[in-house]
Amino acid sequence: MAVTLGFDASKAGQGDPQELPALRPGAMAASKSYPASSAQQQLLGFPGELVDQWQIKAIAKLGELVQRSRALKVALDACVKCGACTDKCQFFLGSGDPKNMPAARQELLRKVYRRYFTWAGKHMPWLVGAEDLTEATLDEWYIYFHQCSQCRRCAVACPFGIDTAEVSMAAREIMDSIGKGQRYCNEIIGKVLTIGNNLGLKKHALAATLEGLEEEIKEETGVDVKLPLDVEGADILLVAPSADFFAEPHIASLIGYGKVLHEAGLSWTFSSHASEAGNFGMFIGSSENMQRVLERVGDAVRALKVKRLVVGECGHAWRVAYNFWNTLAGPYETLDPAYPIPQHICELTYDLWRAGKLRFDKSKNDHIRLTYHDSCNPARASRIGPDPGSQFEIPRALLRATCNHFYDMAPGTIRENTFCCGGGGGLLTDELMEVRLRGAQPRMRALRDVADEHGVTHMAMICAICKAQFTTVLPQFGFESDGVVGVHQMISNAIVLTGSVQAQEYEARLASAGNGDVAAGGKR
Amino acid sequence: MVLYAFLCIAAAVFIGGLGVRIWAYAATPVPLRIPVTPAPLTRSGVVMRLFWEVVLFRSLFNASKWTWLFGWAFHATLLFVLLTHLRYFVQPAWMWLGLVQDLGGYAGLAMVAALVALAGRRLFVPRISAVTAPSDYLALALLIAIGLSGLAMKFVFHTDIVAVKAFALGLVYLDPQPLPLDPFLIIHLSLVAVLLVVFPFSKLLHGAALFFNPTRNQPDDLRESRYAPRITRNGVPAARSDTA
């Protein structure tokens, strides 16, 4: 894919990740995602084209949303424009476009809200920065609310917790409701609704893929690891992002899930009906569509009579699963309350490892010098593990257990201050490539620092969108695209399956070492 | 006596407006759980989270040191200055108000300095002036003018504070008393009346948002108890059972 776009990634990739750019008004105004087709809109229950009297309808919709969401109401009322958020957005840091500053992005919606819903905005618009909803404003909404990855980095900074993600979701919902949807998100939601997953993979394709992977694992290890599909009565339903079935490097993590569950002797299955953990309904702020997508998970839970629900490596999917599944489609009465509902695959693996049920041979990852990219949604919108912040510790513990060389990136760029990969929230589409590259710049700089200082070669993560985005943008910044790895890919490399060729070799090595040197890195 | 009436009306608008706005926040539903994480797991944890936000502006401290310094200094000194004004409203004045009184002048100076610094930031930092509307400058100007007119009386043109106290108590007990016709006092009180009227209907009410924003006031306990509000984000009934 040719990517020039006046953005020199090799230069932009050097420097302080949080360096402030000079303001470049309008710099990103030309980056505009493709509109949804009429058919794509209607499938989701939205008008196919821009409706008559769209201004009136958009304003009415805005009023309705503000009445129904306190987070939005607070966001539109309470900003004091203190500026704390203005240097936090990766899309601003990478572009300098002032409309990519969170307060300014919110202001696009707020100025219309003020004009029609506040006394001062109705009578003295010039004083309070209120503006009519014009075609130009609608166009700006479309451009800049599709340059927000809803990552919440600004919400952490805001003294009032104002969340630009809520504002951009509302803006997208308003635009959808008047017929101005985005193709990328809406096309994907349509695929889940009609076929069952974002990639549009049918059941026979899934079955064939899983069979092929089983053979691959057998060849590698000599062990019959099953990757079951639609097995009624299995204990665990594993819902993974559909990218895990086909995309690189995602698929390597799927193999990792299979190996872990096999080694622990757990009974589990995928579902072809609910073959998608992702839920782009969240990106467009549409609870109806989010709910329609995740009804499929409830269907599968009942049809397959499973007792536990486990979610694969996908950031926004985990937010939806952790925060919204139970509210929108629960309660799941048939699931066993002895286990977390839902459970993240990293929690499951971590608990198994702590219980001594998994052995890792760290030396299998000796060619890798590793860092970890916290994905936005597990970092700032949900939790993995028992404690606040254990979403940062558990993946790192698993990586340290499977790799001898682990180095964190700079403190202001990880954990709750992590940068978005640049492709989240419905931006992972080719026509937004310049947005994605500029949004990736701060993360790439932080990665460059640990690559220079510690020789880091690989970056692990637990998000399907991050994996796809980085695989594309890493080469632009002078890294190898296969430097992107999943946490369960690292586990897959290192896990010692009972009865495998690796186990024989590992045990022989243990025996010849005679003491605990090797064992210390493995089972605990 | 015009000013007396104006202040009474302003106070009524302030209290009524505050009530209406806070009620509106409280009545607006929260369809989904959206705490910004890492978030406390319990209600008491949430109370502590908000406590540190209110007392120390913790998020702002982590996000922007200069804004925090000026913003926190302004609010802290404002609180101090408001306490010094309490003695106009309570008879007899409490003992500890005397102690506060001694430092009130310095607090007032520091408050105006912090406001000027905030205004300077707004004027000269391009990122911040890019998101500033005229009303944002006006709010700062109003506060600075109130501060300066008060300081003028404190340090230069002393006014008859016994008469001011009689006037203030008259406000409390709805018993109009004459006010010294002192230009700084009249400016000071007129601007305060304007502030009271504007406060509930502008961004000056931002303090309330802190308590009501679900991103900060929700505990992170979703797997322990099902969150089932009356309606979902779009007003569709929550699926299946509505029982929490």
CA pair distance A484, A370, nearest whole angstrom: 10
Q: Are A190 and A44 in contact (CB under 8 A)?
A: yes
Which of A243, A184, A191 shows the shortest CA–CA distance to A427?
Answer: A184
> Looking at the structure, do residues A255 and A395 belong to the same domain, yes or no?
yes
Q: With respect to residue A450, please indicate whether it lies within any of the assigned structural domains.
A: no
> Looking at the structure, do residues A180 and A200 belong to the same domain, yes or no?
no
Question: Residue B231's pLDDT is what?
Answer: 55
Residue A88 main-chain phi, psi, to 5 deg: -105, -25
The mean-pLDDT minimum among A175-189, B23-37, B56-70, B88-102 falls in B88-102
Other Cβ atoms less than 10 A from the Cβ of A158: the count is 30
> Looking at the structure, do residues A32 and A121 belong to the same domain, yes or no?
yes
Q: With respect to residue A89, please indicate whether it lies within any of the assigned structural domains.
A: yes
Question: Both tokens of residue A293?
Answer: 């997508």
A–B: how many Cβ contacts below 8 A? 226
Mean pLDDT confidence for B82-92: 89
DSSP type of residue A129: T
Contact B238 A85 (CB under 8 A): no
Question: Residue B143's pLDDT is what?
Answer: 98
The pLDDT > 70 percentage for chain A reads 97
Its ipTM equals 0.92
Contacts of A134 (CB under 8 A, 6+ apart): none
Output the average pLDDT for chain A: 94
Spell out which residues of chain A touch residue B124, defining contact as CB-CB under 8 Å.
Answer: none
Within an 8 Å CB–CB cutoff, is residue A45 touching chain B? no
> Looking at the structure, do residues A145 and A209 belong to the same domain, yes or no?
no
Q: With respect to residue A430, please indicate whether it lies within any of the assigned structural domains.
A: no
Question: Both tokens of residue A297?
Answer: 């998970």
End residue of a domain, out of A173, A188, A203: A188
Q: With respect to residue A218, please indicate whether it lies within any of the assigned structural domains.
A: yes
Residue with tokens 């618009």: A125
Contact B239 A156 (CB under 8 A): no
By three-state DSSP, how is residue A35 classified? strand
How confident is residue B96, by pLDDT bands cut at 50, 70 and 90?
Answer: confident
Q: With respect to residue A161, please indicate whether it lies within any of the assigned structural domains.
A: yes
pLDDT higher than 70, residue B233: no
> Looking at the structure, do residues A176 and A200 belong to the same domain, yes or no?
no
Question: Residue B237's pLDDT is what?
Answer: 42
pLDDT higher than 60, residue A115: yes
Contact B36 A381 (CB under 8 A): yes
Strand partners, A344: A311
Say how many CA atoms lie within 13 Å of A388 toward its Cβ. Answer: 16
Question: Residue A145's pLDDT is what?
Answer: 98
CA distances from A417 to A152, A313, A402, B35, B173 (A): 9, 20, 25, 16, 52
Q: Are B191 and A142 in contact (CB under 8 A)?
A: no
pLDDT in tens, B126-163: 999 999 999 999 999 999 999 999 999 999 998 888 99
> Looking at the structure, do residues A164 and A282 belong to the same domain, yes or no?
no
Within an 8 Å CB–CB cutoff, is residue B231 touching chain A? yes
Question: Both tokens of residue A10?
Answer: 């090799």
Q: With respect to residue A253, please indicate whether it lies within any of the assigned structural domains.
A: yes
Question: Residue A8's pLDDT is what?
Answer: 81
Torsion, CA A436, CA A440, CA A441, CA A444, rounded to 10: -140
Q: Are A62 and A170 in contact (CB under 8 A)?
A: yes
Q: With respect to residue A90, please indicate whether it lies within any of the assigned structural domains.
A: yes
CA distances from A235 to A238, A277, A294 (A): 10, 18, 20
pLDDT in tens, A74-114: 999 999 999 999 999 999 999 999 999 999 999 999 999 99
**DSSP assignment of B62-100:** HH-HHHHHHHHHHHHHHHHHHHHHHTTTSSSPPHHHHHH
> Looking at the structure, do residues A203 and A264 belong to the same domain, yes or no?
yes
Spell out which residues of chain A touch residue B231, defining contact as CB-CB under 8 Å.
Answer: 68
pLDDT in tens, B51-73: 999 999 999 999 999 999 999 99
pLDDT higher than 50, residue B244: no
Q: With respect to residue A293, please indicate whether it lies within any of the assigned structural domains.
A: yes
> Looking at the structure, do residues A375 and A469 belong to the same domain, yes or no?
yes
SS (H, E, C) A418-477: CCCCCCCCCCCCHHHHHHHHHHHHHHHHHHHHHHHHHCCCEEEECCHHHHHHHHHHHHHH
- CATH class of residue range B2-26+34-217: mainly alpha
Contact B36 A161 (CB under 8 A): yes
SS (H, E, C) B194-240: HHHHHHHHCHHHHHHHHHHCHHHHCCCCCCCCCCCCCECCCCCECCC
Question: Residue B174's pLDDT is what?
Answer: 86
Question: Residue A11's pLDDT is what?
Answer: 82
For B:130-169, CB contacts with A below 8 A are: 130-136, 138
> Looking at the structure, do residues A171 and A307 belong to the same domain, yes or no?
no
> Looking at the structure, do residues A209 and A251 belong to the same domain, yes or no?
yes
Question: Residue B230's pLDDT is what?
Answer: 63
Domain boundaries, chain B: 2-26+34-217
Domain of residue A118: give its range.
17-188
Amino acid identity of A389?
G
> Looking at the structure, do residues A144 and A43 belong to the same domain, yes or no?
yes
Question: Residue A188's pLDDT is what?
Answer: 95
Question: Residue A196's pLDDT is what?
Answer: 80
CA distances from A412 to A274, A314, A442, B62 (A): 37, 23, 11, 10
Mean pLDDT confidence for A128-137: 96
Q: How far apart are the first and last CA of chain B?
A: 56
> Looking at the structure, do residues A160 and A281 belong to the same domain, yes or no?
no
Contact B213 A162 (CB under 8 A): yes
Report how many domains make up chain A: 2
Spell out which residues of chain B touch residue A71, defining contact as CB-CB under 8 Å.
Answer: 30, 34, 213-215
How confident is residue A516, by pLDDT bands cut at 50, 70 and 90?
Answer: low
pLDDT in tens, B171-230: 888 888 888 889 999 999 999 999 999 999 999 999 888 999 999 999 999 998 889 886
Within an 8 Å CB–CB cutoff, is residue A326 touching chain B? yes
